[in-house]
């Protein structure tokens, strides 16, 4: 998944967080409000994670650590004998 795609996911998660917060504000019942606030916190955590993964991916690509490259944790598979 590209860094741009991860940022798109982050924007989606942040939009869903905002929607959940708006739903919490509009809720008349306390338990419904709490449910929406919990959802908002979950969406915020996902957005934070996606942003971190995008930064890490961009850093690794900038270092030239594509699959099998220097510093990569992924090595090309060895050919079968």
CA distance 81 to 78: 9
Domains of the chain: total: 1
CA distance 43 to 10: 9
* Residue 8, in any domain of the structure: yes
Q: Is the Cα dihedral 60, 64, 68, 73 positive or negative?
A: negative
* Residue 41, in any domain of the structure: yes
Range of the domain at 10: 3-62
* Residue 19, in any domain of the structure: yes
Greatest Cα pair distance, the chain, in angstroms, is 68
CA distance 27 to 24: 5
pLDDT in single tens digits along all 81 residues of the chain:
565 666 689 999 999 999 999 999 999 999 999 999 999 999 999 999 999 998 998 888 888 855 555 555 556 666 676
Does the pTM of the predicted model rise above 0.85? no
43 within 8 A of 13, measured Cβ to Cβ: yes
């Amino acid at each position: 998944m590209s860094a741009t795609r991860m940022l798109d996911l982050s924007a989606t998660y942040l939009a869903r967080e905002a929607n959940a917060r708006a739903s919490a504000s509009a809720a008349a019942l306390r338990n419904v409000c709490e449910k929406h606030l919990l959802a908002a916190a979950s969406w915020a955590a996902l957005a934070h994670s996606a942003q971190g993964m995008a930064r890490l991916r961009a850093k690794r690509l900038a270092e030239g650590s594509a699959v099998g490259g220097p510093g990569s944790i992924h090595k090309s598979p060895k050919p079968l004998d």
